[in-house]
Structure 1
C-alpha cells in the first residue's frame, strides 16, 4: 500500500511539474509573439521612413542602422522557428538545420560588428568632419557590410571543415532536432567557437571604448552639452549598452547547464530574456532617440484633432 502511494505521489508530482512547465512555455511563447507584433510594427514604420526618404539612404549612419535592424529581424524569425522546433521535438534534415544554424550564428556575430562600425562612423564624423563626407558614404557602408559578413562566415567555414573530420558519410542524410550545439563534434570546434566569440566581443568592446573616449574628448573641448560631439558620445555609449545586451545572451549557456535538469522551462525563459529581448529593445531605443524617426512616430500617434488644419 505504501509503495502504491509513493508511486501515485511521484506520478502526480511529475504531472504537476509537466503542467507547470507547459504553462510557462506557452506564456513565454505568447510574450514572444506580442513582442514580435510591437517590434515588426516599429520595423515597418522605420523602413517606411527610410525607403521614402532618399536623403536618409545616402547617410552612412542610417544605412548601417537599417542593416542591423534587418539582420536582427531575420535572426529573430529563424531563431524563433528553431526554438519552437526544438521545444516541441520537430525533426528536420541535417542540411536544412545546418543552414539555419549557420545563418543564426553568423547573424548573432554581425550585430556587434555593426555596432562597432556605427561607432567608427560617429568617431569620423566628430573627430575628422572634413573627411566624413568622402569616407563614410554608401560605398564605404557596402564594403563594411561585406566585411562584417565575411568575419561572420569565415569561422563557420573553418568550423564546418573541422566538423567533417568527426562525422560519418551518412550524417547529412539524417534527421535531427535543430540545435547549433548538435554540430559540435570535437574539441577543435569548441576551441574555435570560444576563440571567435572572445576575440569578436573584445575587439568590438575596444573599438567602442576607444571611439567613445575620443568623441568625448572633442565634446569636452567644445564645452557644450548640446553640441553634436556630446550627442555622438551618447550614441556611442548607446552602442556600448547594445553590446552589453548582446553579451548577456552568453549567460543563457550557464543557466541552461546548471538549471535545466531541475527546471525544464529554463530554455524558454532564456530564449525570451537573453536572445529576443535585447534585440527587441535595442532598435526601439535607437529609433526613438533619432530625431527623424521620433518626429515621424509623433506624427503617427498624435490625434488628428491636435494636429490642426
Structure 2
C-alpha cells in the first residue's frame, strides 16, 4: 500500500510540475510576443519618422540612430526565427540554419560599435563644436558603417573556415536544429567567440567612459544643468546602460545553470530579457528625449485623435 501511494504521489507531483511548466511557458510566450509587437510598432513609427524627415536624413546623429534601428530590427527578426525554432523543435537544412546563426552573431556586435560611434559624435559636437561639421559628415558615417559591418562579420569568417576544415561535405546536407550549438564542432570556435565579444565590449566600454568623462568636464565648466553638454552626457550615460544590457546577453549560460529545471522556458527568457530588452531602450533614448522625434510623434498621435473624434462626431 505504501509503495502504491508513493507511486501515485510521484505521478501527481510530476503532473503538477508539467502543468506548472506549461503555464510558465505560455505566460512567457505571451509576454514575449506582446513585447515584440509593441517594439515593432515603436520601431515602425521611428523609422517612418526618420525616412520621411529630410532633416533627420541629413544630420549624422539621426543617421547613426537610423542605422542602429535597422540593425536591431534585422537582429530581432533573425532571433525571432531562432526563438520559434527552439520553441517548436524541428530540423532544417544546415546551410539555411547557419545563415540565420551567422546573421544574429554579426548583428549582435553591430549595436555596441554603433553606440561607440554615437558617443564619439556627441563628444565631437560638445568638445569640438567648430569642427563638428567637418569631422562628422554623411560620407564619414557611411565609411563607419562599412567598418562596423566588416568588424562584425570578421569573426564569422574565421568560424566558417574552421567549420569547413573540421567537417565533411555530408554535414551540409543534413537537417539540424537551428541553434548555435549545432555548429560548434571544435573548442576553437567558442574561444574565438569569447575573444571577439570581450574585445568588442572592452573597446566600446572604454570609448563610452572616455567620451562621457570629457563631455561632463565641459558641462561642469559651463556650470549649467540644462546645457547641451549636460544633455549629451546624459545621452552617453544611457548608451552605457544600453551597453551593459547588451552584455547581459552573455550571462545566459549562468541563467541556464540556475534554471536547468525549467528548460522549456529558457529560450523565452533568453529572447525576452537578453535579446529584446536592450533593443527597447534605443527608441526611448531618441524617441522620447529628442525634440524632432517627440514633436513628430505628438503630431501623429494628435492627428489620429482628431480623426477618431471627427468620426465619432459624424456618427
Range class of TM-score, shorter chain: over 0.9
Aligned to 1:275: 275
- Structure 2: distance between partners of 1:204 and 1:166: 33
Q: Deviations over 1:172-208 (max 9, x none)?
A: 1111111112211112111111111111000000000
Structure 1 residues 236 and 29 mapped into 2: Cα distance closer, same or farther (>3 Å)?
same
Task: State the Cα deviation string for residues 83-111 of structure 1 (Å, max 9, x = none).
Answer: 11112112111101100000001111110
Tell me the SS of whatever aligns to 2:166.
coil
Task: Please say if residues 32 and 271 of structure 2, whose CA atoms lie closer than 8 Å, have aligned partners that are also in contact.
Answer: no
> Could you tell me which residue of structure 2 aligns to residue 157 of structure 1?
157
SS of corresponding position for 1:92 = strand
Cα offset, 1:10, TM superposition: 3.2
Q: Which runs of 5+ in 2 are unaligned?
A: 308-315
Deviates more, 1:161-170 or 1:62-71: 161-170
Shift of 1:284: 2.4
Residues 51 and 57, structure 2, Cα contact 8 Å, conserved in 1? yes
- 1:222 equivalent in structure 2: 222
After the TM superposition, which of the residue ranges 10-19 and 219-228 deviates more from structure 2? 10-19
Deviation of 1:3 after TM superposition, in Å, equals: 4.2
Question: For residues 147-180 of structure 1, what are the alpha-carbon distances to aligned partners after superposition, in whole Å with 9 as ceiling and x for unaligned?
Answer: 1110100000011212233222211111111111
Aligned length in residues: 306
5+ long unaligned stretches in structure 1: none
Q: Determine if contact 1:208/1:236 at 8 Å carries over to the other structure.
A: yes
Is the Cα–Cα contact under 8 Å of residues 216 and 233 in structure 1 kept in the other structure? yes
Task: Report the equivalent of 2:97.
Answer: 97
Alignment of 1:110-149 (within 5 A): 110-149=110-149
| 1:57 alignment partner, SS class | coil
For 1:84, the equivalent position in structure 2 comes to: 84
What secondary structure is seen at the aligned counterpart in 2 of 1:156? helix
**Residue 265 of structure 1: SS of its match in structure 2?**
helix
Name the Cα RMSD after superposition: 1.9
Distance 1:11 1:179 in 2: 33
**Do the aligned partners of residues 176 and 11 (structure 1) sit closer, same or farther apart at CA in structure 2, a change above 3 Å counting?**
farther
Deviates more, 1:201-210 or 1:45-54: 45-54
| Length-normalised TM-score, structure 1 | 0.93
Q: State whether residues 56 and 62 of structure 1, in contact with CA within 8 Å, keep that contact through their aligned partners in structure 2.
A: yes
Give 3-state SS (helix, strand or coil) of 2:92's partner: strand
Tell me whether 5-14 or 200-209 shows the greater mean CA deviation.
Answer: 5-14
How far apart are the structure 1 equivalents of 2:230 and 2:35? 32
* 1:250 alignment counterpart: 250
